[in-house]
Chain A
Amino acid sequence: MSEPQAVTLPPSLSEQTTEEVLIALAGQPNMGKSTLFNLLTGLHQHTGNWPGKTVERLEGSFPLNHRTIRLVDLPGTYSLTANSPEEVITREFILHEKPAVLLAIVSAANLERSLYLVSELIPLQVPMIVVLNMMDVASQEGIRIDAVSLERQLGIPVLPMVASRREGVKELLPMIEEVIEGKLCSSPNPPPVRGDHQEVLHQLVALISAFVPPVYPVDWVGLKLLEGDQEITHMMQTMLPQTTWRQVEEILKKHEDAYLAVVSGRYEWIAGMIRTVVSRSKIGQMGITERLDRWAAHPVWGLFILAGIMGIVFWLTFTLGTPLQGLMENWLILPLANGAAGALASSPMWVRGMIVDGLIGGVGSVLTFLPIIAIFFATFALLEDVGYMARAAYVMDNLMHHMGLHGKSFLPLFLGFGCNVPAIMGTRVIESWSARLLTILIAPLVPCTARMAVVAFIAPTFFGKNALWYSWGLVMVSLLTLVVSGVVLNRILFKGQRSAFIMEMPLYHIPNFRTIGVLVGQRSFSFVKKAGTTILAVSLLIWVFSYLPAGNLETSYLARFGQWLSPVGKIMGFDWKLTLALITSFPAKENAIATLGVIFGNSVGAGLANTLAATYTPATALSFLVVTMLFIPCAATVGVIKQETNSWKWTLVSIGLLLLISLFAGVVVYHLAVWIGA
């Protein structure tokens, strides 16, 4: 924005000057103070530093009838509580220099914050004019301010202005003159002191009034003592006789809560004023956000909307992703496997087996669901980019809180939809150890994208067009388990203790498809990288154990290990192959598919999906998916749980808890499905 040029003063105002009058500009940063200063003083300005401070001092002058106005631009401050050098400079200047007029620059677009400073300037008892700047910005944001009513409420002259367009600047000059000459009187209405503290203030004022230096208004000093202002407290301690100071100290000790009450009074004063002088029409993003959030962030409808959106995500994923996955399998992986088998026909059996079954069967199977993953990432990135994911986590947490669960788990849960590792690390924002521990224990129940990838591969294979509903149900089961576990653990760990957190959700945005593209690209690359590292390593290891000792899967070490575990798997409807797939999902969840790819590698010509559909019943598949969703998280997550809890005990509790929940759920779902006849 170009610097505005000095306003041309009317001839009558530019005459020979005699009397010098000091006026000051006060306001928060970025309220247009400097713009007005430049307009009034033009080139007649000089800069320096405030005595003993590194804060810049801007001073200028301009003629106004027979007067020369010396204008001081005070540093931008949010309040006058002596928290910063700027605040001290501002209040000390006003109190010691007593400007003939104090121009308080406030922003019409952010009147609430601006009025806080005004509430602190009024008790300094200097003549004021409130310059209501940025009226244009307020108007653009749908904010209308009744300046007349504001003037009445404040008891101070108010002048609307658009300093950047010089609107209202000429009107300010006669107003300044009238205030200097006492023609424009004001009777400011300072924020009231609450009834129960008024008596305390009177007592303080009575004790200190004879000792307050003349430049300080006695009531203001009394208020500052109540607020615990260190500078004023120190000053009065040196001014008062010891006996009086002890009395003051006793009163202050008795009313330690007074600071909150005094500040609270200011907020009440501002809120009352805003209610009467400001009207807003919600336009643009704000209006849309508010309208959408009436539903999306509603404690009940929000949950239905979340469930509906999850359904749409799966519908999109399956409708677009499954055919693409089939194409990849038929046109890329199968020809590659057949080609490799042909090319390696003369190679030793184990080389062919390792390449075709281990490498292509394992990693290849996982890579076929790259389209599914990419679409899943894209839909989630879209939801994240438009701002919906924050609402999803909010309504979930709201539900949990209604059930008596700790509210601080929001952030980790929010992150958990992407990956459980940052979810566990995200619990660092929680200070209370027990609350953090609870969140660490339940966070792995948030369905991460790797688990969703397994669901996205298996669900369409067994449930066809109904895959959408099964996947949706699996997510709901996970979230329900999370809530129930949270409630139960909360009762045990916190004895039902409640705490609060406040959040501000981002505005809804029109999605930026470039950003979504970058996000999908990054996440897909991470997935491919994982396929080329962890999944590749596990696939090869699985193949080695499926080959040794005699090159026969049914008599291999892998089969023996699987059969040893099969009694546990059997109660959930698994054979040893599925049990092994589950166990090998520990290094990375996608390994479940890779392992099945290796084990069924011999039938790779038929495609893994078809082979699985021909081998297992839907009841077994459903049980497998439920257990996968609730099973022990991946090794990286467990490692982070150990790192964050710094305890093997709690790491094992987490593993044990999830193992118990998943096995129980698997048994129930399998037998229920068999009973129904799935």
Chain B
Amino acid sequence: MLEAFLDRINRGGTLEVESLAREFDTTPEMVRMMLDQLQQMGRLKQYQACSDGCAGCSLQKGCHSAHPQESVKLWQL
């Protein structure tokens, strides 16, 4: 399953956790687990919005201030 999942990511595209879960007939939590696993294996990297690109930005303070723990999560190959 993890191999098929990695193949899917390697095919490219803008992917989203919920839609990947539907595609693999599984739960979003399973998708998150596989993403974490691939990240642990060094196959993916995770980024958090405003992770390092916002240093010095005047809007930084206001950015994602409402729900910082729930801002967009990104994984990239």
Interface CB pairs A-B, < 8 A, 10: A267-B5, A271-B30, A275-B25, A280-B27, A297-B18, A381-B62, A419-B59, A503-B17, A503-B75, A518-B65
Against B, the Cβ 8 Å flags (1 = close, 0 = not) of A403-442 are: 0000110111011001101100111111100000000000
Q: A575 to B52: give the CA distance in the assembly, Å.
A: 44
10 more CB-based (< 8 A) A-B contacts, given A522-B62, A526-B59: A394-B14, A407-B14, A419-B59, A499-B77, A500-B76, A503-B15, A505-B18, A505-B72, A507-B70, A515-B66
Contact A414 B72 (CB under 8 A): yes
CB pair B53 A422 closer than 8 Å: yes
Contact with A along B1-38 (1 / 0, CB 8 A): 11111100111111111111000111111101111010
Of the candidates B35, B50, B66, the one having the most CB atoms from chain A within 10 angstroms of its own CB is B66
List chain B residues, Cβ under 8 A from A20: none
Flag if A500 contacts B15 (CB, 8 Å).
Answer: yes
Write out the residue numbers on chain B whose beta carbons fall within 8 Å of the beta carbon of A427: 53
- Known contacts A112-B33, A267-B33, A267-B34; decide if A501 and B75 are in contact (CB<8 Å): yes
Nearest residue (CB) in B for A290 is: B18
User: How many chain-B residues does the 8 Å CB contact rule pick out?
Assistant: 62
Produce 1/0 per residue, A487-515, CB < 8 A to B: 00000000000111111111101001001
**Is the CB of A260 closer than 8 A to any CB of chain B?**
yes
CB contact under 8 A between A385 and B33, given known A274-B26, A398-B14, A414-B49: no
Contacts of B77 in A (CB 8 A): 499-501
* Complex interface: chain A residues within 8 A of B17 (CB): 502-505
Does B14 contact A397, Cβ atoms closer than 8 Å? Answer: yes
CB distance from A148 to the nearest CB of B (A): 20
Interface size on A, residues (CB 8 A): 67
B33, B35, B41, B75 pick with most chain A CB within 10 angstroms: B33
Among A263, A398, A419, A425, which residue has its beta carbon within 8 angstroms of that of B2?
A263
Q: For the complex, give the distance between the alpha carbons of A515 and B67 in Å.
A: 10
Residues of A that sit less than 8 Å from B by CB: 83, 110, 112-113, 116, 259-261, 263-264, 267-268, 270-271, 274-275, 278, 280, 290, 293, 297, 381, 384-385, 387, 390, 394, 397-398, 400-401, 407-408, 410-412, 414-415, 418-419, 421-422, 425-431, 498-507, 509, 512, 515, 518-519, 522-523, 526
Complex Cα distance, B51 from A427, in Å, reads: 11
Which one of A278, A401, A500, A512 has the highest number of Cβ atoms from chain B below 10 Å of its Cβ?
A500
Q: Are B58 and A385 in contact (CB under 8 A)?
A: no
Task: Give the docked Cα–Cα distance between A353 and B13 (Å).
Answer: 58
Q: When chains A and B are docked, how far (Å) is the Cα of A430 from the Cα of B74? A: 11
Expressed in whole angstroms, the Cα–Cα distance for A635 and B10 within the complex equals 38
Contact A401 to B14, CB < 8 A, known contacts A110-B29, A522-B61: yes
CA distance in complex: A384, B32 (Å): 23
Interface majority SS on A: helix, strand, loop or mixed? helix
CB distance from A651 to the nearest CB of B (A): 18
CB-CB under 8 A from A500, the residues of chain B are: 9-15, 76-77
A420–B45 Cα gap in the complex (Å)? 25
The 4 closest A-B CB pairs, nearest first, are A498-B12, A426-B53, A264-B2, A506-B70
Inter-chain contacts of A415 with B (CB < 8 A) = 49-50, 53-54, 63
In the complex the two chains form, what is the Cα distance from A430 to B45 in whole Å? 10
Q: For residue B16, give the distance in angstroms from its CB to the closest CB of chain A.
A: 6
Q: How far is the CB of B4 from chain A (nearest CB, A)?
A: 8
Across-interface contacts of B58 in A (CB, < 8 A): 419, 526
Give complex CA distance A414, B64 in Å.
Answer: 12
Instruction: Assess the A264–B3 pair: CB atoms within 8 A.
Output: yes
**A residues less than 8 Å from B16 (CB atoms):** 297, 394, 502-505
User: Closest chain B residue to A116 by CB distance?
Assistant: B33
Min distance, Cβ B7 to any Cβ of chain A, angstroms = 11
Q: Would B66 and A504 count as touching, CB distance under 8 A?
A: no
Taking the nearest CB of chain A, how far is it from the CB of B65, in angstroms? Answer: 6
Inter-subunit contact B33/A523 (CB<8 Å) = no
> In whole Å, how far is B42's beta carbon from the nearest beta carbon of chain A?
12
**A271 to B57, Cβ gap below 8 A?**
no
CB < 8 Å: which of A397, A429, A501, A505 contacts B52?
Answer: A429
Asked whether A412 and B62 contact (CB < 8 A) given A500-B15, A502-B75, the answer is no
**CB neighbours of B50 from chain A (8 A):** 415, 422, 426
Instruction: Report chain B residues within 8 Å CB of A385.
Output: 66-67
**Shortest CB–CB separation between residue A261 and chain B, in angstroms?**
7
Give the complex CA separation of A15 and B70 in angstroms. Answer: 52
CB contacts (< 8 Å) of B65 on chain A: these are 515, 518-519
A301 smallest CB distance to B (angstroms): 14
Q: Residue B74 contacts which of A387, A410, A512 (CB distance < 8 angstroms)?
A: A410
How far is it, in angstroms, between the C-alpha of A342 and the C-alpha of B31 when the chains are bound? 71
B44 to chain A, nearest CB (A): 8
Shortest Cβ distance from A385 into B: residue: B66
Residue in B3, B18, B70 whose CB lies within 8 Å of A293: B18
Closest chain B residue, CB of each to CB of A449? B59
Check if A384 sits within 8 Å of B53, measured CB to CB: no
Interfacial chain A residues near B63, Cβ < 8 Å: 415, 418, 422
Q: Is A411 touching B53 in the complex (CB atoms < 8 A)?
A: yes
Q: Which residues of B contact A498 (CB under 8 A)?
A: 11-13
Asked if B14 and A501 sit within 8 Å, CB to CB, the answer is: yes
Q: Which of A259, A425, A504 has the most CB of B within 10 A?
A: A504
Which residues of A sit under 8 angstroms from B18, Cβ to Cβ? 290, 293, 297, 505
Cross-chain contact of A501 among B28, B33, B71, B74 (Cβ < 8 A): B74
Do residues B1 and A271 form an inter-chain contact, with CB atoms below 8 A? yes
Residues of A within 8 A of B24 (CB): 271
CA distance A586 to B74 in the complex (A): 33
**Structural contact, A428 and B52, CB atoms closer than 8 A:** yes
**B6 contact set on A, CB distance < 8 A:** 260
Cβ contacts under 8 Å, A504 to chain B: 16-17, 28, 32, 72-73
**Nearest-Cβ distance from residue B23 to partner chain A, whole angstroms:** 12
Q: Which residues of B contact A83 (CB under 8 A)?
A: 40
Q: Of all chain B residues, which has the CB nearest A644?
A: B53
Q: Which residue of B lies closest to A503 (CB)?
A: B74
Question: Given the complex of chains A and B, what is the CA–CA distance between A654 and B41 in angstroms?
Answer: 37
A267 touches B57 (CB 8 A): no
Shortest Cβ distance from A156 into chain B, in angstroms? 21
Given contacts A260-B6, A498-B13, contact A267 B62 (CB under 8 A): no
